[in-house]
């Protein structure tokens, strides 16, 4: 039963973090297309690790993490105001290259499709 509550709380925190990130004025965050890839919340809801990825790559994500870390007090206060939690978790931010990695995989798959002649695999002859 507790895992349901933890899962819901994790998704709520992720949703509200996404909304708060849109409102930040820090140029390291506002000038970068960032996405929250994953949110890990501890069982006792005291710690929260947020994995952030940027379209521009890992270096841009690391710069955004610096901005998010400096604004972590504001972010925590805003998330606490939007959610009815008894204790708002302390947030730490980690940079990841998940978006760049998935774009690379998509590019490789598209190349394979082109090399195969663009067949759709339906098995019908024209």
What's the pLDDT score for residue 119? 56
What's the pLDDT score for residue 122? 53
Asked if residue 106 belongs to a domain, the reply is: yes
Q: Put residue 38 in one of left, alpha, beta given phi > 0 → left and psi -120 to 50 → alpha.
A: beta
Asked if residue 33 belongs to a domain, the reply is: yes
Asked if residue 77 belongs to a domain, the reply is: yes
Which two three-digit tokens encode residue 2?
A: 């507790």
- Least Cα distance to 34 among 17, 13, 47 occurs for 17
User: Which structural domain range is residue 66 located in?
Assistant: 2-115
* DSSP states along 43-87: TTSSEEEEEEEETT-HHHHHHHHHHHHHTHHHHHHHHHHHS--SS
- Residue 29 neighbours by CB distance under 10 Å: 23
Report the CATH number that the domain containing residue 61 is assigned in CATH. Answer: 3.30.300.20
Asked if residue 126 belongs to a domain, the reply is: no
Based on the structure, what is the number of domains in the chain?
A: 1
Mean pLDDT by 10 residues, the chain (126 residues): 80 93 88 90 92 90 93 92 88 90 87 72 50
């Amino acid at each position: 039963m507790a895992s349901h509550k933890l899962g819901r709380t994790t998704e709520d925190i992720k949703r509200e973090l996404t909304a708060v990130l849109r409102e930040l004025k820090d140029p390291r965050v506002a000038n970068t297309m960032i996405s929250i890839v994953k949110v890990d919340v501890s069982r006792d809801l005291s710690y929260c690790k947020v994995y952030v990825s940027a379209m521009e790559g890992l270096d841009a994500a690391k710069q955004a993490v610096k901005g998010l870390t400096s604004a972590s007090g504001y972010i925590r206060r805003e998330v606490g105001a939007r959610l009815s939690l008894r204790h708002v978790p302390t947030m730490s931010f980690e940079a990841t290259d998940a978006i760049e990695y998935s774009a690379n995989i998509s590019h490789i798959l598209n190349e394979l499709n082109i090399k195969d002649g663009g067949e759709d695999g339906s098995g019908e002859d024209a």
